[in-house]
Structure formats: C-alpha cells, structure tokens
Structure 1
Amino acid sequence: MFELTSVNFDNHIPHWHTQLEAIGYNVLSIVQEGKVRYDINGEEAIGEKNDVLFIPMSTRRSGGNWMGTTHQKYTILFTYDPSLKTGIPFLDQRKFAKFRMKEARHIFSRCDKLLEEMRGGKSYRSIICLGIFQELLGMLARESDKPGELTPSKLKYAETIKKHLLAHYREPVEVGHLATLVGRSPNYVTTLFKEVCGHSPIRYMHQLRILEACSLLLSSTMTVADISQYLGYYDTSYFCRIFKQLAGMSPTEYAKRGNLADMPKFF
C-alpha cells in the first residue's frame, strides 16, 4: 500500500528552504526542535517542537526556516494508492493536517530507526523500512486522536485570529472582538489560540509589536516614545516593561547593542 521515497533528518541547516511547487508525493514533517515555516496552497503553516504536519500529494508547497532560525525535523516522503482507505484519518482525508504529539520520545526513536534502515544496505531493508513506517503511522494516528488534538476547525479558528492580529496589531485588541470573528466565547478563543500557537492572543499581539519595535530601534530615527505611541502603547513606561519582558533588555539597551538577526530568538 505504501511506498517510501526518502527519509531525511534536517539538523539545524542554515538557510534551509524548498521551492514552491506542486509536490508529487506525500510529506510527513515531524519537528523535534525549533520552528519551520511552510506555505501550503497560499496559507502559512508553522511547525514547532513536537508538531506533526501532513502535506498531501499535489499540494502547492514551499518551506523555509522560520524568521531566520534553524530547526531539527524528520521529513518522510511517501506515496500510496489514493483509491484505498488506509484507516489513518489524516491520510484518508487527503488534506493538510497538523497536530501536536503528547508522547514524542518513542516516535522520534522510531524515526531514528527508519532513517538508519533507509540509509543502510542490509538485507530485507525495504521490508523492514515498510514495517517501521506503518508502525510509525499507527503511532501518529493514535497521537492525533488524543484529546486536545489540533482539529481542522481549531486550526481554522486560530489562523483567522492570527491573520486579524497580523493586520491590526497596532490597534487596541480585545479578546471579545476576536471571539466574534470565529463565533465562539472569549474563554474558548484564549484556550484555543494557546493550544495551537503556544501563547495567548494578547501575548502574540505584544510579540508582533515588539518585533517591529526592534526593527524600528535599529533602522529608524524614532525615539522610544515615538515607537511606543506608533505601536499602540500610549504609556511609554508600560511599553518599556513589555519590551524588557520579551526581549530581555530595555529598548535603549537594544538600540545600542541589538541585532536584527537576534530578534526571533527573543520569542
């Protein structure tokens, strides 16, 4: 049923990227450390530590390091007969899927073994590799079924909120308004966004603001007070507290010894 094309381990590769193309195979991207960014049919998808991303055949996909940082991930390329049911929900739906593993250690161990067998020249390699891969698929299917899985609806809600924040992060943000965008309660939105993105919508807004503040401190003549007001912080002392909380130093200190390449490391 399954045919493995390749198995790779990307180990903190500087400037890693893949070109935009309609892929002729299925991809399992299993992130061990850091973050990776994909463009999936025109939509951004971020994979973080312990995330699994399934990218089906014929998807228009490109990929790259997130915000200049590096990452570690296993990438498994494979094909299977699309007319057959595999019993694996995220495969049978044949749509992009993302979920976070709760028990990642054993899965990484099987990925290591699969990589070792794929690159070795021992007898019965193809049979053993297929067995390991099918075991791995079963383990991932079990992980995706656990409570708190990142279902398509949760991912859709989170992306809707994220897009709004990206477009309006300099404006006042209220969780109640974000909730109306997806037709859910404020508490649900906060919990959902933290589950998908790892932090609350308000913290994400602050991150976007401080990332831009870092850029403005190094590339403009704006004062700290000017930047504070420009980014929607009408109390400069509050802006400075948020900046130091996220960046680990004051805006003035960052302006003196900061580096644009270091910005993503703060978050």
Structure 2
Amino acid sequence: MFDIFEIRQERGVLGSEQKALGSDSLALIWVRFGQTSYRVAGQTMQLRKNDLLLIPSGLQAAELQGAGSIRESVVVRFSPADSATVRLLPILARRAPLRWVTHMPELLLEKLLYIVDQWSARDRYFSIMCAALLTELMVTISREYDEGEKAPSSIHHIEVMKRYIDNHYRGKITKLELGACIGVSPNYAASLFRKVTGMTISDYVHRRRMKTALYMLRHSQLTVQDISEHLGYSDPSYFNRIFKRITGKLPSDAIAERSDRE
C-alpha cells in the first residue's frame, strides 16, 4: 500500500515558469496528450504521448514550461507505506528516474482517471481506496516493465487490431477476425493482444464502446436505450452494468452532466 500526497491532472498551454515537484516522495507522471519536459537531478527528460516517468524520492525535479507547449498529463506523488511494498515491487527501489513508453494506454488511463475521481470527490475512506487503486496500478506498470520492450512486429500487430476494432466496434468482433486481419491464428491473436495491452479483446471492445457511449450521453439527446442499441447491446441493463464497471458512474450520471451544460 501507499501514502499518497498529491494527485493532479495537468491540462492546457504551459506557462513560462517551472513547476517543481516535492523531493520527499516518489512521483509518477503519465502523458496522455501532447508533450512536456522534466528536469530531474540536472537531466532533462522529454515526455510525449503515452510516456511514463517514475522519479525516485530525494531527487529535485520540475516540469520545464514554455509558451506554446500543450499537454495533458496525470501526476501522482506518493511513498510506499512500508518496506514490504518496496521489496515486492522492485521498481520502487530504483535510485535513478525511469522513463518508458506504455503499450497499454487505455488500461492505464482508466485506472488513473478512477484514482483522480476518487481523490477529487474525497468521499468516505477515499484515501484507502486511492492507495488500493494505486497499488493495482503500480503492479500493472511493473508487470509491463518487467516484460521488457515488445518486438516491433508485435506492436504493429496490436495497432492493426486496434484499428480494426475502432472501425467495427459496434458489431461483434471475434479473435477469428482479428487473427485473419494480421495473418495469425485466432488463439495467437488473442494471446498477443492480452499480453501487450493488458486486456482481452472483449474488454477492449467494451471500453471502446463505452468511450463513445460517454460522449453520446453527454452531448446528444438520445436515450440510454437508443445509445445501448446503437453500440450493439440488446439489453440496456447489461449496457448499464458495463458502463458502471468501466467508467465508475451510471449512464444517468452522464445524462445529468449533459443537463448541467444546457
């Protein structure tokens, strides 16, 4: 488990001043969009979309800001609650900053935004919930890092499968179809997809649908049933369960947000 000191989202155009991070804790930065740079212990590190940066405690670090740069990122400052956590997650014992590109951005985004929501809402027991969610996130990141760099051919296959899903996500998508689109067996396609993205094909399809559902619930006048059917769900109650599991809210919550803006 972890003690969390700060969780924040950084959005928009960067200003002219540096934004320092505290050196009394670890810092995890993930860039969702755009690019930025951090100065860590005298070293400048450039970060782009889907880059992760883990900064050990004890190092002076600051985001270098300049006019015209746009980025969206999530910053989490935290410390392990005990030595056992460091022993079980060796990535936390590093003395040098670690930068790498994640190939499971959809999964990390979901986990990070859920942590941000819990931290911002500050409901009862929120600190315990955030610590548990951060533990899950760091395990996911550690597993990806331990596996090392993926082969370029594997990354290419994943991008091809993702594009196929993006073009057909409203219908039923099978591993047979995905295997055919990259020229491998269905079982290999399913195994590769899960290994690289951290999700099953079905999980990814549901998340792609819920991304569209959230937008439609907020920005259209369609009913939940209309949107459910549009996205391939014949049972609205099943759609509601999937939406709640992935977004952490009910469709009615998103519709209420729609009403607030009108």
TM-score, normalised by the number of residues in structure 2: 0.52
1: distance between equivalents of 2:54 and 2:17?
17
2: distance between equivalents of 1:127 and 1:35?
32
1: distance between equivalents of 2:144 and 2:16?
28
Partner of 1:24: 24
Partner of 1:61: 61
2: distance between equivalents of 1:125 and 1:81?
16
* Conserved? CA contact 1:28–1:75, under 8 Å: yes
Following TM superposition, by how much is the alpha carbon of 1:16 offset from its aligned partner in structure 2, in angstroms? Answer: 6.7
Q: Where does structure 2 lack aligned partners over 5 or more consecutive residues?
A: 151-262
1: distance between equivalents of 2:89 and 2:17?
29
2: distance between equivalents of 1:16 and 1:137?
32
Partner of 1:6: 6
Q: Which amino acid aligns with 2:116?
A: L
1: distance between equivalents of 2:63 and 2:22?
12
Q: Deviations over 1:193-241 (max 9, x none)?
A: xxxxxxxxxxxxxxxxxxxxxxxxxxxxxxxxxxxxxxxxxxxxxxxxx
Partner of 2:190: none
Partner of 1:95: 96
User: Aligned-pair RMSD on alpha carbons?
Assistant: 2.2
Following TM superposition, by how much is the alpha carbon of 1:67 offset from its aligned partner in structure 2, in angstroms? Answer: 7.1
Following TM superposition, by how much is the alpha carbon of 1:36 offset from its aligned partner in structure 2, in angstroms? Answer: 1.1
2: distance between equivalents of 1:88 and 1:16?
37
Following TM superposition, by how much is the alpha carbon of 1:80 offset from its aligned partner in structure 2, in angstroms? Answer: 2.1
2:33 matched to 1:48?
A: no
Q: Deviations over 1:127-181 (max 9, x none)?
A: 21111111110111122123317xxxxxxxxxxxxxxxxxxxxxxxxxxxxxxxx
Partner of 1:245: none
Q: Which amino acid aligns with 1:97?
A: L
Partner of 1:230: none
SS at 1:53 equivalent: strand
* Conserved? CA contact 1:10–1:73, under 8 Å: yes
Following TM superposition, by how much is the alpha carbon of 1:81 offset from its aligned partner in structure 2, in angstroms? Answer: 5.2
Q: Which amino acid aligns with 1:146?
A: E
Partner of 1:71: 71
* Conserved? CA contact 2:26–2:57, under 8 Å: yes
Partner of 1:141: 142
* Conserved? CA contact 1:17–1:62, under 8 Å: no
Following TM superposition, by how much is the alpha carbon of 1:68 offset from its aligned partner in structure 2, in angstroms? Answer: 3.5
SS at 2:147 equivalent: coil
1: distance between equivalents of 2:7 and 2:115?
8
Following TM superposition, by how much is the alpha carbon of 1:87 offset from its aligned partner in structure 2, in angstroms? Answer: 2.3
* Conserved? CA contact 2:17–2:66, under 8 Å: no
* CA gap 1:16/1:116 in 2 versus in 1, 3 angstroms: farther
Following TM superposition, by how much is the alpha carbon of 1:92 offset from its aligned partner in structure 2, in angstroms? Answer: 1.7
Q: Which amino acid aligns with 1:142?
A: R
SS at 1:35 equivalent: strand
SS at 2:113 equivalent: helix
| Identical columns (%) | 19
Larger-gyration structure (1/2): 1
* Conserved? CA contact 1:36–1:66, under 8 Å: no
- Runs of 4+ aligned residues of structure 1 deviating over 3 Å after TM superposition are 16-22, 65-68, 81-84
* Conserved? CA contact 1:9–1:73, under 8 Å: yes
Partner of 2:235: none
TM-score, normalised by the number of residues in structure 1: 0.51
SS at 1:145 equivalent: helix
* CA gap 1:92/1:21 in 2 versus in 1, 3 angstroms: closer
2: distance between equivalents of 1:116 and 1:87?
27
Partner of 1:240: none
* CA gap 1:19/1:147 in 2 versus in 1, 3 angstroms: closer
Q: Which amino acid aligns with 1:110?
A: K
Partner of 2:132: 131
